[in-house]
Structure 1
Amino acid sequence: MAPGAPLLAAGLPSTKGAPASAPLPPQWHGLYAGLNAGARIAGDDAVSHTTYATGPGFDAGTVLAGTYPVRFYNGSGFIGGAQAGYNYQLALGKGMKDLVLGVETDIQGLTASDSEYASNLALSYLSPGGHVFTGTNFNRSIDYLGTLRGRVGLVLKPTVLAYVTGGLAYGGVSFSSRGMSDVMTATSALAGVGFGGSSLSDTKAGYALGGGVEWAFLPNWSLKAEYLYYNLGTYTSHAPHLEMLLATGAAASNTAGVDSLTFDGHVLRTGVNYHFNGFAAEPVLAKY
């Protein structure tokens, strides 16, 4: 041994540094699918209804009823369905939270529907001085709701993800109105009665926005709580009325209604997802 060389006693601990922990693998990366359930709460719960004069006996073009809202109060109900998506996790650097980019689609069934009756809301004057009373039943429903959304999230903890989301929404919607009009003379004699209505049944598209929190509670499973607002647009339907003039027995289309309404609402739901890549529950120690 060379003079001055340090002596290492047998059995003394090595001065080599302790093994370091390897970084956690991506916690949220990969494909997932699951189920959800919750509540749908109605958004804009009003129909704007306007009645116009269109034929003999009226000042042509006169707004009979004016425009008034018909309020719906029963627009809440159960919503449930399935979702699937894909996450891509990005490490932003030391001291920063990881970013998760993803896309998700879902399809939901709903039980929410509305019905309301509005009576004697149209009181207007015929040219000679008479007036018109109307009563109308309104019904509105949404049968299913689907979305295709992007997601942007931050990994608050390895097992907790907070995110915002937004994108396309679509749904099957229906609306109908059925009304009756009584045409009165200036002396309050019945001059005629009328019946009419409108209907709409279609698939409409719009947008959805929201956010939520997801928690990985098992190696392949997560729970989420989520809020979404959806808007499928505002639509107008025309409801002609047929007036039967009792004095002469002649029929004439003397009034017409226009209904305008928005299909939108709020969704509060919880869900469970199965992650096909799984999660890493504990750090992996590097081996030497």
Structure 2
Amino acid sequence: MTCVHLFRIRIAAGAALGAAAFGTPAAAADLPLKSPAAKAVYSWTGFYVGAHVGYGDGTLGPGTNPILEQGVVFPPTITGGIGGFQVGYNKEFANRFVLGVEADATFTGPTDPVRRPLGPFNASIDYVGTVRGRAGYSFGTWMPYVTGGFAWGHSQVRVNDGGGNVISEPGQYQTGWTAGAGAEFALSGNWTAKLEYEYIDLSRRRLGLNDFGMPGVSIDPRIHLLKFGLNYQLGDSPWSATPTRTALPESSDWSVHAQTTLLGQGYPSFRAPYSGTNSLPGVGQAQQTWTTTAFLGVRLWEGGEFYFNPETAQGFGLNGTLGLAGFSNGEAQKAGAQYPKIRPQRYYFKQTFGFGGEQEDVPDGPNQIAGKRDIDRLTIVVGRFAVGDFFDGNSYAKDPRADFMNWAMWASAAYDFPADLPGYTRGAVVELNRKDWAVRAGVFQVPNAPNSDVLISNPNNGGAVVEFEGRYSIFDQPGKLRVGVFGNRGNTGNYRQALAIEDANPAFDINGVMAGIRKDNTKYGFYLNGEQQIVTDVGLFGRLSWNDGRNEILSFTDVDRSVSGGLSIKGSRWGRANDTIGIGGAVNGLSSAHRDYLAAGGLGLLIGDGALNYSPERIFETYYAYQVNKNLTLTADYQFITNPAYNADRGPVHIFSGRIHGEF
């Protein structure tokens, strides 16, 4: 199968991640039909693509020291929360029996850092795949079935040194069999949902560890999976030029969208007379990241909505997302993975209270259900989300999947917004919206330490932000200005205190000193964020942000002062109305205490050269986004970064990027 075919399949399959959000089989059965005839003619015959989420458990065999993966609301297990994709074909016969074949791949959750066992090695299962037959019986719009067939998986052993660092990761493929049962239900349009149990038994294989002075370990996977899936029925001839008619009436109370983004970056060698623990290597390198996200929403009642966004992420930022304060890839997570990992990135309730009067149309879109809403309204959001979903927005520089890629371009870089390693938190947001202005406020959980993946519920710690947004026009051209103030309280160390202790005891390691003095400290600051349309399809944007710079950065990146801005131009003037050119730049800076800490050998979240000849980090970025069609966009991007990580002794760095972004 070609890369293009794989890409197309993944775009379509990404929409189906997380079908658990679509409710129970009983709810599916109660969906209204336009006429009794619709139920009578429903057929399961045809191709389909989809995806699933769920939960798993099992064993890898005795003495394997398995790594436990996060289960979100469930206990961690060898698989934790799971998710993946499927594709298949069914044939329904005149006697209502249905036979089919399905292939799928299932990925495990991220490692639970709190429960990682200590030992000379740890075993894990990275993913499993199956090719199965399905046999079912149609009861019209629902079908119970049994399934079974061939299975395979990839297991891995992480060999640890005495300090808990991974020094090698040998892995192997294992084959076996699978069996299970489930039921599938027609929802609306061409969408169906399924609930499925699957048992996977892979053959025992022994992995030799003689090179590390240890006997081999036998990996013997026995895995139980419970899956909630969502499939899109393509019909019996998906290659036909004539669109397939929907099998059931479409529902106006659902929203299903998806995106997939493959982003590759690389740079040639640059001047680097010395390097430290977190330095960007002077020798050139290339890396890629790949994410696929489903945006699933359901209207619960008048003004009430629930959204669920499961996401698979694979790959690494340059140097494992280390070496630049204004990092070059907005898709790069601090917790990269060799194989796809599944996380429920967003799950939140949204309640809107309208005040009456003038209304506005709400188009169908990601995390947005089509309809109308009052312009004067109060909105409350509670759950898990990214702070940037509701704050610090900008029409021209906000989405690294569509516009600028550098962290200092799509966000106010000095705003240390609360987040876990992928960039999400749990909390609540309240927004009051009027025609010409809005004010919104939020409170959030913070991680339990800098660069931690563990969010804590502690009344003494947390983050808060208040933002005012004003809307106006200059010569009939619309513009917006956002002003935000923020404060975080978390487990961080103070730069001056760490320097004083290290000065009095030169033999101490300053990073060890900093870890030892962490306590509940506060960081506060502000940001200004503006956008202004100049003429149709041409806009300017700019941001200014600042924090007090006394204590460690907790969540985002090593920036205490930042200014950025640029120009966005749509391609209507050269006959490419949906293409975009972006040109912009940013300058990042540090407080004096933060500079001295890095110069003394301190390490930040992303940077630390072991020494520092301080100069502000300067970034230039330009891109061209070429829309192939409404679902696919290709982007070429160039970034020029001087004084990477604020160090005038190193750089400059030339970073070249290519991005493939698909959505529907």
**TM-score, with normalisation over the residues of structure 1?**
0.56
Establish whether residue 29 from structure 1 lines up as the match of residue 35 from structure 2: no
Aligned partners of 1:26 and 1:89 also within 8 Å: no
Write the distance in 1 (CA, Å) between the matches of 2:65 and 2:109.
21
Q: Equivalences for 1:219-238 in 2 at 5 Å?
A: 219-238=189-208
Is it true that 1:270 corresponds to 2:228 in the alignment? yes
Q: 1:101 to 1:229 in 2, by over 3 A?
A: same
User: Which residue in the other structure is 2:55 paired with?
Assistant: 39
Q: Distance in 2 between matches of 1:104 and 1:258?
A: 35
Q: Gapped runs of 5+ residues in structure 1?
A: 1-20, 49-68, 93-97, 118-135, 181-196, 243-254, 282-288
1:73-84 matches, within 5 Å, as 74-84=77-87
Matched, 1:257 2:215: yes
- 1:218 alignment partner in structure 2: 188
Q: Secondary structure at the match of 1:47?
A: coil
Whether 1:174 and 2:171 are equivalent positions in the alignment is no
- Structure 2 CA distance for partners of 1:238 and 1:202, relative to 1, 3 Å: closer
Q: 1:179 Cα deviation (Å)?
A: 8.7
* 1:192-250 residue CA offsets vs partner (Å, 9 max, x unmatched): xxxxx9964122222221111111122411111111111222112344489xxxxxxxx
Cα distance in structure 1, aligned partners of 2:205 and 2:182: 30
* 2:178 equivalent in structure 1: 208
Query: C-alpha distance in 1, partners of 2:131/2:92?
Result: 20
**1:271, distance to aligned residue in structure 2 (A):** 1.1
Equivalent-residue separation in structure 2 for 1:261 and 1:78 (angstroms): 21
In structure 2, do the counterparts of structure 1 residues 45 and 174 end up closer, same or farther at CA, with 3 Å as the change threshold? closer
Q: Which residue of 2 aligns with 1:107?
A: 105
8 A Cα contact 1:25 1:280, kept in partner: no
> Taking structure 1 as reference, are residues 25 and 159 closer, same or farther at Cα in structure 2, changes over 3 Å only?
same
Distance verdict in 2 for CA 1:258–1:216, change over 3 Å: same
Give the Cα–Cα distance (whole angstroms) in 2 for the partners of residues 86 and 241 of structure 1.
46
2:130 counterpart of 1:147? yes
2:143 maps to which of 117, 142, 161: 161
Q: How many Å separate the matches in 2 of 1:30 and 1:144?
A: 27
Decide whether the 8 Å contact of 1:211 with 1:226 is kept in 2. Answer: yes
Q: Secondary structure at the match of 1:227?
A: strand
Q: How far did residue 72 of structure 1 move? A: 6.9
Conservation of the 8 A alpha-carbon contact between 1:38 and 1:269: yes
Q: In the alignment, is the contact (CA less than 8 A) between 2:106 and 2:128 conserved in 1?
A: yes
CA separation of 1:107 and 1:276: change in aligned 2, threshold 3 A:
same
Contact 2:66–2:124, Cα closer than 8 Å, also in 1? no
Aligned partners of 2:223, 2:153: CA distance in 1, in Å?
12
- Is 2:190–2:248's contact at 8 Å kept on the other side of the alignment? no
Aligned partners of 2:66 and 2:122 also within 8 Å: no
Deviations 1:80-131 (A, max 9, x none): 1211111001123xxxxx11000011122222659534xxxxxxxxxxxxxx
With normalisation by structure 2, the TM-score equals 0.26
Is the CA contact (8 Å cut-off) linking 2:59 and 2:78 kept in structure 1? no
In 2: Cα distance, 1:31 partner to 1:176 partner: 40
Q: CA RMSD in A?
A: 3.3
**Number of aligned residue pairs:** 188
SS at match of 1:116: coil
Alignment partner for residue 279 of structure 1, among 242, 247, 250?
247
Normalized per residue, the structure richer in helix is 2
Residues 32-64 of structure 1, C-alpha deviations (whole Å, 9 max, x = no match): 1112111121x224334xxxxxxxxxxxxxxxx
Q: Kindly state the Cα deviation for residue 154 of structure 1 after the two structures are TM-superposed.
A: 1.1
1:88 to 87, 91, 102: 91
Specify the structure having the higher radius of gyration (Cα): 1
Q: Which amino acid aligns with 1:102?
A: G
2:65–2:122 CA contact under 8 A, matched in 1: no
Check whether the contact 1:116–1:138 (CA below 8 A) recurs between aligned residues. no
Distance 1:163 1:215, change over 3 A: same
CA shift in 2, pair 1:71/1:34, >3 Å: closer
Alpha carbons 1:75, 1:112 under 8 Å: kept: no
In structure 2, the partner of 1:3 is: none
Q: Is the 8 A contact 1:241 1:257 kept in 2?
A: no
| Pair 1:275–1:170, CA change in 2 (3 A) | same
Aligned residue type for 1:235: R
Alignment partner, residue 506 of structure 2: none
Q: Give, in whole Å, the separation in 1 of the partners of 2:196 and 2:211.
A: 45
Please tell me whether the aligned partners of residues 101 and 132 of structure 2 are also in contact (alpha carbons under 8 angstroms). Answer: yes
Cα distance between partner residues in 2 of 1:206 and 1:276: 30
Alignment-mate amino acid for residue 158 of structure 1: G
Paired with 1:173 and 1:72, the residues of 2 have a C-alpha distance of: 11
Q: Whole-Å Cα distance in 1 between the matches of residues 185 and 132 of structure 2?
A: 20
Q: Structure 1 residues 241, 173: CA separation in 2 closer, same or farther (over 3 Å shift)?
A: closer
Q: How much identity, in percent, do the aligned residues show?
A: 32
d(CA) in 2 for partners of 1:137, 1:215: 47
- Aligned counterparts of 2:67 and 2:146: Cα–Cα separation in 1: 30
- Report how far residue 24 of structure 1 moved: 3.9
Q: What amino acid is aligned across from residue 270 of structure 1 in structure 2? A: F
Q: Which aligned pairs between 1:177-196 and structure 2 lie closer than 5 A? A: none
- SS of match in other structure, 2:120: strand
